[in-house]
A and B are shown apart, each in its own frame.
Chain A
């Protein structure tokens, strides 16, 4: 469901803007074809980003979103002179992505703050005023990083990660480990990122990003369930991931050995938990069946008695 890179960047945006007017559709060479594994073409390194264009998600109708008290207008290129006009929307999103990517380099020193973003924008050669235009500034940086990490994970998986010889619990462990290792360069400032993500304004987006991550991991492990199990699995893995992440913050062991041991234990518990839940379900069903049978027997007995009584006596 959350599989594709394009969809990810559509759902999680650092712009809250909604299109009021769409430029006339024209072939845009920077659009990445969605819904295909060709999305893996878009980068495998954090530094450079090709901005996936979020054109498709936006409401195609041209009327005002009147409910909103703030809205966006896009540049209407001249209708007759399209080829010479630059692609404004693409360029702006690219510019934002470039600024955020450059800002990440300053995070270990300056933290997930406006200062890091200002330094990043200076590096790219753009006035730091652009930082003011990001909605929820620091959160935009953190969310960008989360998206980048997810993209990297997908790329690693697509480029042939060997999972065949592992049992499911080990596969989950490996994927979570790969993902958490991406945070190691920022570990000193990661608590700040977590607190930013926990801020009520930012919770919806950070929750969605984590949900996508967890879904991605289960999908890779090979899970196809679509019933109630789906939610249970994601929730459990979400819990495992979060606890490991927090454990990692205070881990001093060389190469985070303790964290990976902790992770393996938690994943094993989770799989055992799954089995125990299954067993509990069957047990409940059995009891239910037993109770049901005896209740039915009771009712039958009552009915028979009443009909006998009713037949033989006159009330």
Chain B
């Protein structure tokens, strides 16, 4: 009996208990994987996922993607074309994969072009790494220290919510979010802004898509004119046979791997389900365009398993 009660302490049962008290407009359900939970709980759950995940994040990434995630991140940074003197913001980049690549790219370029006189390159490059989870940031800081970059002023580790960015308007040349935009919840203010925008522009988005829209609007605010937004994210596969193989791999293999290596089946189950809930490439591109970006493009990698969306603020 006790065991059964214990097993009923799932997220689903929490919803059942609270359903009757769901009166206010603001506490509507949002999705956590395939389960419906209240919003306030979602950020806690996401937080839990990543606290569990942080320590074995890098290892799991390598195993799940067979090392391909490194190539994807290389491609992302290649598309960004970093330059000396750049102010860059990498969101949800706790362990610093993308940030380190940008740092390396900038410094090698700078070394090559030292002969060129460019007053603006006297400005320091600043790469801000923002993450809601301090554990991820700590892993990142440790990696920086290992590379001898502990005291380097270019890399700045900021703990914060992607939706409540404390950066000034029009201050960033670039904004990247790698495998993070799926996990944005929304805070009141950001969501309200997204709703207002949606209604004033008569756009046709579902409630959950408004979370993503709010993220795009925040990005738009923070970027300078000409600044670029790049998003690397797991996306939808359409190729017939490959799609089935991918689904099989996602639902059968990954949660088991998660249990084996990270000791956490649920987190990876959530991960795989959230990928399916995320809008497909075209839809996401439309959302970015509707938020006010120009030249919205996307590139599929590995047949659609991963997609890089890019856009410019003008």
Contact = CB atoms under 8 A, between A and B. Distances in A.
User: Are A and B genuine complex partners?
Assistant: yes
Interface of A: 15, 17, 20-21, 64, 69-76, 78-81, 88, 91-92, 95, 110, 114-115, 118-119, 121-122, 125-133, 137
Given A95-B314, A119-B118, A127-B224, A73 B86 contact: no
B226 A130 contact: yes
A310 to B, nearest CB: 71
A95 B312 CA distance: 11
B201 A129 contact: no
A130 B294 CA distance: 11
B174 interface: yes
Nearest to A130: B226
A17 B297 contact: yes
A126 B285 CA distance: 23
Contacts of B289: 73-76
A118 B113 CA distance: 13
B70 to A, nearest CB: 20
Contacts of B296: 72-75
B75 to A, nearest CB: 12
A133 B310 contact: yes
Nearest to B300: A69
Contact of A128 (B173, B286, B300): B173
B292 A75 contact: yes
Given A15-B295, A72-B295, A110 B81 contact: no
A228 to B, nearest CB: 42
Contacts of B174: 129, 132
Given A79-B202, A131-B81, A72 B294 contact: no
B228 A122 contact: no
Nearest to B230: A132
B217 to A, nearest CB: 14
A231 to B, nearest CB: 37
Nearest to A126: B226
Contacts of A75: 289-290, 292-294, 296
Contacts of B116: 110, 115
A81 B290 CA distance: 14
Contacts of A91: 294, 314
Nearest to A111: B116
B226 A17 contact: no
B298 A92 contact: no
B86 to A, nearest CB: 7
Contacts of A115: 113, 116, 118
B79 interface: yes
Interface of B: 79-83, 85-86, 113, 116, 118, 120, 173-174, 201-203, 223-228, 282, 285-286, 288-290, 292-300, 310, 312, 314
Contacts of A125: 225
Nearest to B312: A133
Nearest to B283: A73
A126 to B, nearest CB: 3
A-B complex: 3 closest residue pairs judged by Cβ atoms: A132-B81, A126-B226, A127-B226
A133 B300 contact: no
* Residue among A81, A121, A129, A137 with most chain B CB within 10 A: A129
A128 B202 contact: no
Contacts of A130: 226, 228, 312
A137 B118 contact: no
A133 B292 CA distance: 17
A128 B292 contact: no
B264 to A, nearest CB: 34
A137 B288 CA distance: 24
A83 to B, nearest CB: 14
B312 A73 contact: no
Nearest to B299: A70
Contacts of B314: 88, 91-92, 95, 126
A81 B199 CA distance: 12
B282 A73 contact: yes
Contacts of A118: 83, 118, 120
A129 B298 contact: no
A90 B286 CA distance: 18
26 contacts: A64-B282, A71-B285, A72-B295, A72-B297, A73-B297, A75-B292, A75-B296, A76-B290, A81-B201, A81-B202, A91-B294, A114-B81, A122-B120, A126-B314, A127-B225, A128-B173, A128-B226, A129-B81, A129-B83, A129-B86, A129-B224, A129-B312, A130-B312, A131-B83, A132-B82, A133-B310
Nearest to A86: B314
Contacts of B86: 128-129
Given A75-B290, A127-B226, 10 more contacts: A70-B298, A74-B296, A75-B292, A79-B202, A81-B201, A126-B314, A127-B225, A129-B86, A129-B224, A129-B226
Contacts of A122: 120
Contacts of B226: 95, 121, 126-130
